[in-house]
Amino acid sequence: MAWTLGCVNVIGLVLAHMWVAHRRSLMSAAGIIDSDGRHDTIVAPATAQAPAGVAVVRLSGPRALQIGAKIGDRDSHDLSHGQMRFGHLHGADGPIDEGYVVAFHAPRSFTTEHVVEIHCHGATAVVRAICDAAVHWGARPAKAGEFTRRAWLGGRLDLVQAEALLDLISADSDRARQQALAHLDGRLSSELGSIRTPLLSVLADLEARLDFATEQDVDDLNRDQLCADLSSLVDRLQHLVQSAEAGRLRVHGLRVALYGAPNAGKSTLFNGLVGSDRALVHDQPGTTRDHVEANSVVDGFGVTWVDTAGIRETQQEVEAAGIERARQAAIASDIVIWLTDRSGPMPEMPTPPGWQSDSGPVVLAYGSHADRSAAPGTHLHHQWPAISALEATDVERIRQDIASAIRKKTQAMGDALVLTRARQARSLAMAAEHLERACQALAAQMSLELPSADVRDAIDQLDEVTGRVVPDDVLEVIFSQFCIGK
């Protein structure tokens, strides 16, 4: 119907104007523009703030070219887009260093504003002097994540891509890097857009029937077909929500806890798995009182290894506290390596709360001290694979078992799109719930006002994921995780 198509255009135009106004209010609240609409110019080191061979100081804003030219001791017209200029770098009090100045003219920059990068020697004093000079000539120090926030406000990237950039910056494994790049390339944003577009059409149709159509138009609505269309979108949303666990493992890695009785060889195995003597090893039981952590990579996934206190009955308050922490560390882990001394009495498998649920950790059990003979009056038990934490081949075997467990936990998703943030999963789950309620209202022959409201709420949840509409407190949480200068 012509009025339906017209309503689609009207709704799209209204949402677009709301988005522009929303972004402008956010920019004002964030201090990026003042009451007159003029932008601040910000400055910060873009590289780690530690002594290094080379450092980069970044400027962004309307005065970036002028300030960059002053520091580079040249006219701002000399700073052509994308060209690096070598020369002396100056502050208000004189020379600072030698280096390069490169300019990116708006909107062809990361932030969509004028951007200048100053490449200098990485001495802390040099970087500080350049930042001080920029502030002297009119810039202000950037807040955490402010460059990325300006890129988002300027439409360079959406909120999913901003979070992906944070993941890429902090990636410590190939899987994390690959996943971050997939989101940074816009794959997830495109998928969400392909769900949002038909929902806009549905909303336009429902609201047009409510506002402009006759009773005959309302009666002609094929509710069964509309429910089928919405159910298909619900399935896609739920599939994404179910991917959140795999996304978490890809980006943030897994926690693997070593758990068992004292002197079962946990600390020795821990040191072998991480490749260094991180945990204290001693024959005296109860040496480990608090858990020790170390990171490495297994099969492309980041792994945090956790060595825990030995589990036993004790009257010592400090050791008891360590044992309780060990139990909590095991429950919070994705995989638990349960070690028992196979040369001693046969123990029972521990069952802390959560281990028996589908969402609990995977438990891999081994009989340790395979290099020892059985103690007098006992026999070697063979229920679990025998290993020696002193043997490199056994340590590698456990590492391969961990790799297999990781693949089993993540193989269902393959290379499919996955969510990497809890907030993304929450919003999409709520969107699916709204669409399910819309279907129920349609099936029950209720007024079209009810499914229309639920479809609109579902669109709002999608928009919160991508950042079209998002609460200020959510933005603060996201961008505060970035370093200064990013």
**323 is written with which tokens?**
């044992």
168-177, 185-194, 364-373, 438-447: which range is least confident on average? 364-373
| pLDDT grade for 214, boundaries at 50, 70 and 90 | low
Strand partners, 99: 87
- Domain 182-243+417-472 CATH class label: mainly alpha
pLDDT > 50? residue 379: no
465-477, pLDDT tens digit by residue? 999 988 888 888 8
| pLDDT grade for 285, boundaries at 50, 70 and 90 | low
Indicate the average pLDDT of the chain. Answer: 82
Which residue did the predictor score with more confidence, 417 or 225?
225
In the chain, the percentage of residues whose pLDDT exceeds 70 is 80
129-138, pLDDT tens digit by residue? 999 999 999 9
CATH fold, domain 42-156, is: Gyrase A; domain 2 (3.30.1360)
For residue 178, with 0-12 CB atoms within 10 Å meaning exposed, 13-18 middle and 19 or more buried, which class applies?
middle
Q: Cα–Cα distance between 458 and 268 in angstroms, integer? A: 52
CB 367 within 8 Å of CB 342: yes
Whose CA is closest to 426, among 361, 474, 359? 474
The pLDDT of residue 20: 46
Domains of the chain, by residue range, sit at: 42-156, 182-243+417-472, 249-410
Residue reference for tokens 């406000």: 153
Mean pLDDT of 454-474: 92
CA distances from 282 to 285, 286, 379, 467 (A): 8, 9, 24, 53
Mean pLDDT of 317-345: 81
| pLDDT grade for 17, boundaries at 50, 70 and 90 | very low
CATH fold, domain 249-410, is: Rossmann fold (3.40.50)
Which residue did the predictor score with more confidence, 424 or 265?
424
